[in-house]
Amino acid sequence: MNPIRHFLLALQFFTRIPLPGRVAAWVGFDKDMQRASLAYFPLVGWLVGGVAAVAFVVVEALLPAVSGAGWAAALLSTALTVMLTGAFHEDGLADTADGLGGAVSRERALEIMKDSRIGSYGASALVLALLLKTAFIGVLAQVDVALVAVTLFAAHVCSRMMPIFIVALLPNVGGRADSKSAATASEAGGTILAVAIFWTVLVLVIAYRWHAGMFWLGGVAASGLAWFIMFGLLRRRLQGFTGDTLGATQQVCELAFYFGVLVSLHFGGAA
């Protein structure tokens, strides 16, 4: 087992960060590495969330100290994460919305999700998700900039943990060798879950110690509820998961995390 290689494989798949040719050749690829790389999806969230947090703080500091500065920083930070990941998860959200948005059969839903074209359900879901993400971060910025940085960091990590639970509990029904699920195993064993949970819990400890206090509990709770809804939907409609639905799960759980933190702040008297 080589954790560095497994992490770099996950990094190649989930971001647009290029690796030098020799490094990519050293990393390699096989089905066992596919399975092992699942454990490092939350660690990819460390990188993406860290970039989002730094970008937000820097942009907000460079803008005039007016009420709209936080919203502009939120939009630019979000745009940077979309560029960094190649809109990978957003694409999964749009495809999933197209497939599951209408009252169609399981077979038809899977067929729709394989279509590269975006429909009205997908376009609506994508626009609403980006608007909600920007809005939630912008509202958080009205409370405290440092809290935004911590929340972005934790949300990107935790939301990347949630699809692994889907993989562990449902079968892969993607049925395509070149689909997004091709780089994920059809199962996630105990070791994979343990490593992924470690990286997730560690970021929550950092959030607690650094700034967020216990407000992140609201984010975790809301993200867990969103996961439960997604799990029930996938089990009922598809009897399994595809690569697109894993991306959709990440997006939904990320949005829920922001919302949960905001609710915790409100009822905790900090907002």
Which pair of structure tokens corresponds to residue 243?
């690569």
Whether 39 and 195 have beta carbons less than 8 Å apart is answered as yes
The 8-class DSSP code of residue 177 comes to T
- Secondary structure letter of residue 210 according to DSSP: I
pTM score over 0.85: yes
For residue 180, what pLDDT band results from cuts at 50, 70 and 90? very low
Q: Assign 251 a pLDDT band (cuts: 50, 70, 90).
A: very high
Contacts of 104 (CB under 8 A, 6+ apart): 112
Give the pLDDT confidence score for residue 186 in this predicted structure. Answer: 52
* Higher-confidence position of 69 and 88: 88
CB 185 within 8 A of CB 39: no
In this predicted structure, the answer to whether residue 1 has a pLDDT above a threshold of 90 is: no
Token digits of residue 269: 């008297």
pLDDT confidence tier of residue 190, bands split at 50, 70 and 90 = confident
Residue range 10-36: mean pLDDT, rounded: 83
In the chain, the amino acid numbered 204 is L
Residue pair 141/148 in contact (Cβ under 8 Å)? The answer is yes
